[in-house]
Structure 1
């Protein structure tokens, strides 16, 4: 170290630290916590998660971050936003107005150690200016599919040749992916304000030292191979997935949620006989669609466990930032008359929340009707549970295409003329998944992906190796 100044020598001797920043929303925080666990358990790295928000932390968030070194940044006001902003704009607004707090947090952490990496997710690229000023290398943690990442690399070209969306049946060609219809693009790409914001984020990707992708080669082989081709302006891609809550036998026996009524109910059901119905922490259905879903589940004659929230006739992401607004006083008062009595014994309704990871790991679960959030998809993969896709918002339609046409582990119900998935269609698709030959094929394919997922996160697995490479690089700093 003789060529270093005294100050540089002191800096080099400090413990390497990594700062990670998710976007607001539970779905963005969960996979980052899983990465945190791997970095702190297996590598000599100090890690801190800083969390922007527009509300004080909830009890659930505080519990989720127990034993995690974290900082909740001061909530930012939403007074200059519309009363019902789109999720993407709300997230971007929160990050933008949190920049002064992000700067203070980074400076404070840097005063205690040697910050060798600042890891943000897709919506956090505006903070790259701060990390650059502080000479901290920046990385992107991409919480969703390699398909969407590949698409976003193409997005800046749309400023020069805008794509017309309305009434179009053209296919979008995404490098390394199956072609998708324009109608299946993430909803935000059809909104000029959101599209412009996403283009600005995509332009900043080249400023990152690397992009950490929450997927793995066997799940999206062609896409990840394409992304790992060296190209100008494209940072190295590190596929580290599946970063998901993997429930092992010890967790099943001693987990904190083992006393949940739904798990006790599942214990009494035949193996592989129950359809789990859940639309994530943010997804909501209209009153009419809830009626159709209830009656469709009844028509299928299959066992089901349904995590049910209050209807929202305006916004399919109605509980993304308003979880408490969907707490049910009476979870049965908006269901079809007689439904609860007629399905008693075969169905169980759970208000607002269930321990999803443990439910999907339960041997009684034979299928999952899901909104296609990527965390939910990965939790299904690691447990070998085939899917019925019911995308609601954000990139979930793109995920549904990936699940059904590329991964081939799910069925997608048709939408009727009134814009609803109708009861007859629901009944047919549920029965097909749970009892039909098509369901058996999907189950076999999902079993193969489960085995691949277990292998890649094992001691010598490819995802484990990618995390080891990152950790070694960050320790050297």
Structure 2
């Protein structure tokens, strides 16, 4: 590159948004000699700590906006995020203009697209970092078409939604809750985001790699297929995840794991924003106990509402979530596994050779952590795009199993949970899934290596950004 590039990155609140953005920033610095400034408005101390612990990035903390008068107690999480990012625009604009130098590009995540005009004011290129998979992105850019073609609510639509060149979406199973009801504000917010992407961005960064979804990527680049909705380049630069921190691989959990046979432990975690109904927690506990498989289970207190409503308001500050488990469960299973309140070092646990299965909400970061460690999954989608991820894992990649009835529709009973755990951990099908997972692990490592597809895509993105910046600078000089 002829000159050093300076990326300004705007990140939405939430640890699931922050971690991929931080890792993207690190990669731009270490691989491409960028300087990177990340703008955050943290919603928790954990987010602030994660951001400020990274020394090679400049972190600018934006004051959290007061949206109490703009949303109600029942407002969905996506709408809250849209409102928060909309209210941050003026503060973000001022913060960018106060920088010692004008950045050479702006990168935003999905909820930051309303800040694209700030890049236009500065005369710099603007990119979307879509920290998920290509199939979900294909749905996103078809949203306007679906909005016009589908009559009534999507939840009542019986026919699959056709996506040119790739897998169709089934409203009852794959279409995420944000899009199910036109009467909800979150529907209109999401369609609004989708409408801005093809019109306003100069390129798309995807958190996956070329070899993971080649058919969907080909459709996105084909002007006769999905490419007719999208005229900007797509760069699959993943997997971008938090690296394994060996300093976290200490203590009681890892002392216990070190004593277990290879691939004999199933890890259960529903993410930083995942919460279950009390009845479902009880069924999982009994299913685990009946399976007689070794386990590590990270638990929070149950939600009294929906999983989506619990996303930003989980009860994980409860003093003792273990009290919600069946009486005697911890004592009866003390030789089988560990129950950990609130949080555990997920990346390090999944990387441990004793772990052979992962029961997960299948958020995309958790999915990538499982893929890159070769650990087969039981998928348990709760909200957002997790339904999409669950279908990819079970039907496209064939590295996971799922319950017969989706867990957002009905409590999954203990017998089925026992069967799924046994299937993953000791049945022949589990061994087949594990072998497929290990091939994906090898594929991901190759993509990230020197000369790999993701490393090359990142370099191509940087060259595109430099070229766009020079082009816009010349236009501004002429005017």
TM-score in terms of structure 2 length? 0.91
1:42-76 alpha-carbon deviations (Å, 9 max, x no partner) = 222110111134x4x40453134412321121111
Distance 1:65 1:221, change over 3 A: farther
Corresponding pairs, count:
455
Alignment of 1:94-113 (within 5 A): 94-109=84-99, 112-113=100-101
Q: Check whether the contact 2:357–2:424 (CA below 8 A) recurs between aligned residues.
A: yes
**1:195 equivalent in alignment to 2:183:** no
The answer on 1:144 being equivalent to 2:135 is no
Q: After superposition, where does 1:243-254 map in structure 2 within 5 Å?
A: 243-247=240-244, 251=245
Shift of 1:235: 1.3
- 2:358–2:377: 8 Å Cα contact kept in structure 1? yes
Is the CA contact (8 Å cut-off) linking 2:14 and 2:47 kept in structure 1? no
Question: By how many angstroms is 1:218 displaced?
Answer: 1.9
In the alignment, what sits opposite 1:236?
A: 233
**How big is the shift at 1:170?**
2.2
User: RMSD over aligned Cα, in angstroms?
Assistant: 2.0
Q: Counterparts in 2 of 1:80-91, with a 5 A limit? A: 80-91=70-81
CA distance in structure 1 between the aligned counterparts of 2:243 and 2:441, rounded to whole angstroms: 11
User: Which stretch of the first structure deviates more once superposed, 407-416 or 394-403?
Assistant: 407-416
Q: Secondary structure at the match of 2:359?
A: strand
Question: Is residue 205–residue 234 contact of structure 1 (8 Å, CA) maintained in 2?
Answer: no
Give the equivalent residue in structure 2 for 1:186: 176
- Which residue of structure 2 lines up, in the alignment, with residue 375 of structure 1? 365
Aligned pair partner of 1:259 in 244, 247, 250: 250
2:282–2:326 Cα contact (<8 Å) kept: yes
Contact 1:213 1:237 in 2 (8 A): yes
CA distance in 2, matches of 1:279, 1:215: 21
Alignment counterpart, residue 432 of structure 1, candidates 415, 418, 423: 423
What do residues 71-130 of structure 1 show as CA deviations (whole Å, max 9, x unaligned)?
121111131211132111111011011011110122122xx2241110011111111122
Q: Distance in 1 between matches of 2:37 and 2:341?
A: 33
Structure 2 residue runs without a partner (length 5+): 470-479
Contact 2:77 2:309 in 1 (8 A): no
Write the distance in 1 (CA, Å) between the matches of 2:202 and 2:157.
37
Q: Give 2:296's aligned residue.
A: 305
Partners of 1:261 and 1:328 in 2: CA distance: 22
Task: Output the CA distance in 1 between the equivalents of 2:255 and 2:21.
Answer: 30
2:206 paired residue number: 213
**Equivalent of residue 129 in structure 1, options 113, 117, 137:** 117
Alignment TM-score, normalising by the size of structure 1 = 0.91
* Contact in 2 for aligned 1:205/1:235 (Cα 8 Å): no
Cα deviation code 1:118-153 (max 9, x no counterpart): 001111111112221221211000011111110111
Distance 2:378 2:165 in 1: 24
Given candidates 66, 81, 95, the residue that maps to 1:77 is: 66
Partner of 1:215, secondary structure, is coil
- Structure 1: how far apart are the matches of 2:157 and 2:103? 48
Name structure 1 gaps, 5 residues minimum.
1-12
Which residue among 326, 329, 334 is the counterpart of 1:336? 326
Structure 2: distance between partners of 1:59 and 1:23 = 14
CA distance in 1, matches of 2:422, 2:371: 21
SS in 2 for 1:179: strand
- Given that 1:19 and 1:50 are in contact with CA atoms closer than 8 Å, whether structure 2 keeps it comes out as yes
Q: SS of the residue aligned with 1:245? A: coil
1:119 correspondence with 2:116:
no
Given the superposition, is the C-alpha separation of residues 264 and 174 from structure 1 closer, same or farther in structure 2, using an over 3 Å criterion? farther
CA distance in 2, matches of 1:318, 1:158: 26
Q: Is the 8 A contact 2:11 2:39 kept in 1?
A: yes
Give me the whole-angstrom Cα distance separating, in 2, the residues matched to 1:205 and 1:407: 27
Q: Could you say what secondary structure the match of 2:20 adopts?
A: helix
Structure 2 counterpart SS, 1:441: helix
Distance 1:76 1:260 in 2: 39
